[in-house]
Structure 1
Amino acid sequence: MTLSPRIGVVIVTMGTRPRELEALLASVAKQDVPAARVVLVGNATSLDDVSTDVLGAAGTPGATEVTKVPLTENLGCPGGRNVGLALLRDGGGHGDEGGGEVDVVVELDDDGLLIATDVFREVRRQFAEDPRLGIIGFRVADEQGRTERRWVPRLRAGDPMRGGPVTAFLGGGHAFSMPMLRQIGLWPGEFFFGHEESDLAWRALDGGWEIRYVPTLVLQHPRTSPARHAVYYRFTARNRVWLARRRLPAPLIPVYLGVWITLAMLRMRSVTGLKAWWGGFAEGIRTPAGERAPMSWRTVWRMTRLGRPPVL
């Protein structure tokens, strides 16, 4: 990693939140360390109505280069993000790690907002000081500054301000080391929605990288339920099975699935959701899960010492 890592930004949108996206772009433009590149990926949207003037006109001092990538189909969140990540990774720049235009990539939900102006500065500092830092997870908070328990990437979620090494991160706001991505690969695009963060996090940990939760880096995000998505129950169950089949040592697969079947049934409040969940579980069993590359037992022990063994 260079002494002053260059920061790129990837934002995926379906074009359904134009005001929120405009506000997010404005918050990116206000950062006291400007991004080297910003990539806007339109999942099944043209991006014709999205203005990037807020980031500065090309050729003006401090302007950020913005690339719009409209897609004709919806690739899902991980698939759309992969398009932006691959563009920055393979951009043919002059990075120290063998090509590409940036050293660190910040990914942000299109309905999120950076409320501080020094987020990129702190991200750059932390990656510059620790060459084995692979992922920084931001703290997600609503408009009143409250962080829900499910937004805290650890089992003991009572104190959202306790940072440090963790085994997971939130997809809404985070930063990736580009050298890490070159080593472990990008998002599992076939997941489409749900648990793609776990797949990437487990690969990062198995590759020897650190995941760090930094609660002082805040992404403001409205309080929403993941169940608002029609595919939530089906993809949640299917992707958990795929995740286990791809990444866990064989003895842990039935343990992991047993734990999550129990938790899902205890939490289920909808007959429709129950049917969709079991349909997704069956789909995860009978369909190809992708390349199997289980984590080492050393990684299992590392995750256990960090407070979250890979069966929870």
Structure 2
Amino acid sequence: MTDQKFSILITTKNRLSDLVFTLGKIQYLIERKDVVCVICDDGSTDGTTSFIQTQYPEIQLIQNAKSRGLVYSRNRLLSLVTTEFAISIDDDAHFVTENPLESIRNYFEKNANCGLVALRVFWGIEEPFFKISNEKPNQVQGFVGCGHVWRMKAWRDIPDYPSWFIFYGEEEFASFNLFKKKWEIHYLPEVLLNHRVDVKARRDKSDYTIRLRRSLRSGWYLFFLFYPVGIIPRKMTYSLWMQFKLKVFKGDFRALQAIILALFDLVWNIPRIMKNSNRLTKKEYEAYNQLPETKIYWQQEK
């Protein structure tokens, strides 16, 4: 029986500089005997594969000959895991907390119904100056993809991430399925991760429209996959109204394009939605909504 308890999983594509920084930050974890690191290179053309093979021969590397998307790559990585726990981080994220694995393992051991641990995430180019949080662990609705830990027994108890989502929404898909299977998701603020992203600057990037399109459609997919039928019309109407109110009516016509394309995607994927639907009962829906919301952003406390 292997002594390895943790797999660290990273998906990357053409972000070598980010990956180099991340691997440097977590190298002390990669070198541990109880850890295996697996990276999926999703069709990079910037020398990512050569770098990993040369500088980190101890890392298990898999490749997609052509890009297949984040969700497909995460499924590939998780299918290879043989350890009890799997830590998923983005290629532009690293642990700030020292010795995070001990905290994660201890928490899982004390909480048998916890199928997934959501880490505390600070979104910013630089690490936060104040790193300590007064928050307490608690059960939450969901998690964010850039930093979470699977109990692999729970992962194997639900369907794989929906690769047809491409990007966005796979975490919520898993969250609903975990809830249906009576697995809990817990927020563990003791472990802090720095996601090196300037969130405000994303609006000005050239991929703003495609990101918004994918975000909208994934949310709508989830309505039709998991929500009780009677609730869907109200949720769709409100979602559309808020997009027009906050974006289109203020002159953001790139958002209008994203909305139209996302609606087309929704109609196109109706057969997949019908095949994969796993609706909550009204009672389950009410219970799910009583849980604290997903902890996405942590603001440093002064």
TM category, shorter: 0.7 to 0.9
Q: How does 1:1-312 map to 2 (within 5 A)?
A: 6-16=5-15, 18-31=16-29, 35-45=34-44, 47-51=48-52, 65-88=58-81, 101-141=82-122, 142=124, 143-145=126-128, 161=135, 163-225=137-199, 227=203, 228=205, 229-230=207-208, 231-268=210-247, 270-288=252-270, 289-290=272-273, 291-308=276-293
In structure 2, C-alpha distance between the alignment counterparts of 1:194 and 1:278, rounded to whole Å: 18
Cα distance change of structure 1 residues 304 and 238 upon mapping to structure 2, 3 Å threshold: closer
Amino acid at match of 2:91: D
Amino acid at match of 1:41: C
Amino acid at match of 1:128: E
Q: How does the TM-score come out when normalised to structure 1?
A: 0.79
- Compare relative contact order (CA 8 Å, sep 6+) and give the higher one, 1 or 2: 2
In structure 2, C-alpha distance between the alignment counterparts of 1:285 and 1:298, rounded to whole Å: 28
Instruction: Tell me the percent identity.
Output: 18
Amino acid at match of 1:259: Y
Q: Is the 8 A contact 2:42 2:64 kept in 1?
A: yes
Q: Is the 8 A contact 1:167 1:308 kept in 2?
A: yes
After TM superposition, give the deviation of residue 167 of structure 1 in Å. 0.2
Cα distance change of structure 1 residues 22 and 212 upon mapping to structure 2, 3 Å threshold: same
Q: How does the TM-score come out when normalised to structure 2?
A: 0.81
Q: Which whole-Å deviations, capped at 9, do the CAs of 1:25-55 have from their partners, x for residues lacking one?
A: 2333323965532110011127433236776
After TM superposition, give the deviation of residue 273 of structure 1 in Å. 1.8
In structure 2, C-alpha distance between the alignment counterparts of 1:82 and 1:281, rounded to whole Å: 26
In structure 1, C-alpha distance between the alignment counterparts of 2:34 and 2:25, rounded to whole Å: 12
After TM superposition, give the deviation of residue 5 of structure 1 in Å. 7.9
RMSD: 2.7
Of Structure 1 and Structure 2, which has the larger fraction of its residues in helix? Answer: 2
Amino acid at match of 1:183: D
After TM superposition, give the deviation of residue 267 of structure 1 in Å. 2.6
Q: Is the 8 A contact 1:7 1:35 kept in 2?
A: yes
After TM superposition, give the deviation of residue 160 of structure 1 in Å. 8.7
After TM superposition, give the deviation of residue 185 of structure 1 in Å. 2.2
In structure 2, C-alpha distance between the alignment counterparts of 1:181 and 1:286, rounded to whole Å: 28
